[in-house]
Chain A
């Protein structure tokens, strides 16, 4: 009986068995990376480490050097396309993808055929838990570039055995028309684009809550799990159940949404994760917020060991859904590199977004503008009052938003109303943070 589990056996393995498996697999991965990747051989040698030194999970966490996206990008720029990060003969690379490039330079991601199978599988756990089945029909509301997120969704649909309809290069109205004509049951898009499509459909006189779509599934930015207000908006707009997974393009679609809707579970067949206090570098305890450090079993072409995600998460070891895989409550709570300290208070993008979502007279489009004022980081929230809100009421709405943020986050942010529909809308990665600070006050990846 499968009920809500794609693989009940491994999704509920006792923690001791999972940890024993991880140790066996991490030891093998260390040997593999050391023998086959010049990049890792140098990292290990520089640290005075041999694969045989890893005798426990603690050894792995403490001794294996951390890796960061910027290192891989530098190596690839110096010797394109992959430089010394490639760990397989080039003829085994069956697919090239890239990250979305939102940090400036896209990272090249080589996959073997088997890597693509493993990556696609990761999506299916969360889809199955939401209720999506092989009898469903997927609609992909995105163009087909090199972005790993798009292709891995396709690998997932193939694995599940579902039908696929690609929206390809259609514009937003074209997507709406295609959905109404072809009657898919699952919409795959970024969460903000799902809302954008619903709004455009409404302008076209189409109510997509009455369409064939029964499920929406999302990735790529904070969605229905991290932002309950967004879940409510998407489910109401589409008349469908909304789910999401947490993925990182160069790693895996590694954390399917929990069916309880309050977090995601790390897929412990594909990755090993732990949390690190970014300030001290020590492991964060259960329930504490820390940076998610990820090791992937998926990427044999370009291994990723102790990879810094820069995602801030709160880890739990138990969940009411029955899964034993590590739970990340609320998915990503913030970014180490998008966490801004304003007058001594850490402000996370998603926290502000949730508060904006609570206000009925404000749209879900917003920007957080970072500036440097009097030796402090400062943040201004630019938001759009809905068209039905009279202009003379904007200052009052701004004050209420500022008060609400102050009440919830204990920091006073400037809130500035801009005209409806003037902030940019995105099909892929929504850019919310506008960093106008001088370079020296930004973190390395944001420079």
Chain B
């Protein structure tokens, strides 16, 4: 489980990189949704992640 959690965290970091400077609203929305799902995955694996990612990455 630790390895899975580590990979999900890495995926979120990659998504954050991909969002930087993204000027395509469609792609930005997709990346934002992907990050939301991965945050939710960490939450449901009992990880102490912050409460509201949608408030953090606006």
Q: Which residues of A contact B (CB under 8 A)?
A: 7, 9-10, 13, 17, 21, 24-25, 28-29, 32, 88, 92, 112-114, 117-118, 121, 269, 297, 300
Q: Do B54 and A17 have beta carbons less than 8 Å apart?
A: no
Q: Do B52 and A114 have beta carbons less than 8 Å apart?
A: yes
Residue-wise interface mask of B (17-47) relative to A, using a CB-CB cutoff of 8 A (1 in contact, 0 not): 0000000000000000100110010011110
Give which listed residue, A13, A24, A29, A88, contacts B55 with CB less than 8 A. A88
**Chain B contact residues (Cβ within 8 angstroms of A): what range?**
10 to 19
Shortest Cβ distance from residue B54 to the other chain A in the assembled complex, whole angstroms? 5
Q: Do B36 and A114 have beta carbons less than 8 Å apart?
A: yes
Q: Using A7-B44, A17-B46 as known contacts, say yes or no to A29 and B51 having CB atoms under 8 A apart.
A: yes
Q: Do A9 and B46 have beta carbons less than 8 Å apart?
A: yes
> How far is A29 from B43 in the complex, measured between Cα atoms in Å?
14
Q: Do B51 and A10 have beta carbons less than 8 Å apart?
A: no
Q: Do A21 and B52 have beta carbons less than 8 Å apart?
A: no
Q: Do A92 and B40 have beta carbons less than 8 Å apart?
A: no
> How far is A102 from B11 in the complex, measured between Cα atoms in Å?
45
Q: Using A113-B36, A114-B36, A118-B40 as known contacts, say yes or no to A32 and B46 having CB atoms under 8 A apart.
A: no
Q: Which residues of A contact B40 (CB under 8 A)?
A: 114, 117-118, 121
- With both beta carbons as reference points, the residue of chain B lying nearest to A92 in the complex is identified as B54
> How far is A26 from B58 in the complex, measured between Cα atoms in Å?
23
Q: Do B54 and A300 have beta carbons less than 8 Å apart?
A: yes
Q: Do A21 and B46 have beta carbons less than 8 Å apart?
A: yes
Q: Do B46 and A10 have beta carbons less than 8 Å apart?
A: yes
If over half of A's interface residues share one DSSP class (helix, strand or loop), that class is named, otherwise mixed; here it is helix
Q: Which residues of B contact A13 (CB under 8 A)?
A: 46
> How far is A78 from B17 in the complex, measured between Cα atoms in Å?
44
Other A-B contacts than A114-B40, A117-B37, 17 sampled, CB-CB below 8 A, are A9-B1, A9-B45, A10-B46, A21-B46, A21-B48, A25-B51, A28-B51, A32-B51, A32-B52, A88-B55, A113-B54, A114-B52, A297-B51, A300-B51, A300-B52, A300-B54, A300-B55
Closest 3 CB pairs of A and B: A28-B51, A24-B48, A300-B52
- With both beta carbons as reference points, the residue of chain A lying nearest to B54 in the complex is identified as A114
Q: Which residues of B contact A25 (CB under 8 A)?
A: 48, 51
From A25, A113, A114, name the one whose CB has the most chain B CB atoms within 10 angstroms: A114
Q: Which residues of B contact A92 (CB under 8 A)?
A: 54-55, 58
Q: Do A10 and B44 have beta carbons less than 8 Å apart?
A: yes
Shortest Cβ distance from residue B20 to the other chain A in the assembled complex, whole angstroms? 21
> How far is A28 from B50 in the complex, measured between Cα atoms in Å?
8
> How far is A269 from B37 in the complex, measured between Cα atoms in Å?
15
> How far is A9 from B45 in the complex, measured between Cα atoms in Å?
7
Shortest Cβ distance from residue A299 to the other chain B in the assembled complex, whole angstroms? 11
Could you show 27 A-B contacts with beta carbons less than 8 Å apart?
A7-B44, A9-B45, A9-B46, A10-B44, A10-B46, A13-B46, A17-B46, A25-B48, A28-B50, A28-B51, A29-B51, A32-B51, A92-B55, A92-B58, A113-B36, A113-B54, A114-B36, A114-B40, A114-B52, A117-B36, A118-B40, A121-B40, A121-B44, A269-B44, A297-B51, A300-B51, A300-B55
Q: Which residues of A contact B58 (CB under 8 A)?
A: 92
Q: Using A113-B36, A114-B36, A117-B36 as known contacts, say yes or no to A269 and B52 having CB atoms under 8 A apart.
A: no
Give which listed residue, A88, A113, A269, A300, contacts B43 with CB less than 8 A. A269
> How far is A24 from B51 in the complex, measured between Cα atoms in Å?
10
Shortest Cβ distance from residue A66 to the other chain B in the assembled complex, whole angstroms? 21
> How far is A32 from B33 in the complex, measured between Cα atoms in Å?
22
Shortest Cβ distance from residue B46 to the other chain A in the assembled complex, whole angstroms? 6
> How far is A10 from B5 in the complex, measured between Cα atoms in Å?
14
Q: Which residues of A contact B43 (CB under 8 A)?
A: 269
> How far is A96 from B34 in the complex, measured between Cα atoms in Å?
23
> How far is A32 from B36 in the complex, measured between Cα atoms in Å?
18
Q: Which residues of B contact A9 (CB under 8 A)?
A: 1, 45-46
Q: Which residues of A contact B51 (CB under 8 A)?
A: 25, 28-29, 32, 297, 300
Shortest Cβ distance from residue B30 to the other chain A in the assembled complex, whole angstroms? 13
> How far is A48 from B1 in the complex, measured between Cα atoms in Å?
42
Shortest Cβ distance from residue B23 to the other chain A in the assembled complex, whole angstroms? 20
> How far is A32 from B50 in the complex, measured between Cα atoms in Å?
10
Q: Which residues of A contact B48 (CB under 8 A)?
A: 21, 24-25
Q: Which residues of A contact B1 (CB under 8 A)?
A: 9
Shortest Cβ distance from residue A338 to the other chain B in the assembled complex, whole angstroms? 34
> How far is A182 from B58 in the complex, measured between Cα atoms in Å?
43
Shortest Cβ distance from residue B48 to the other chain A in the assembled complex, whole angstroms? 5
Q: Which residues of A contact B55 (CB under 8 A)?
A: 88, 92, 300
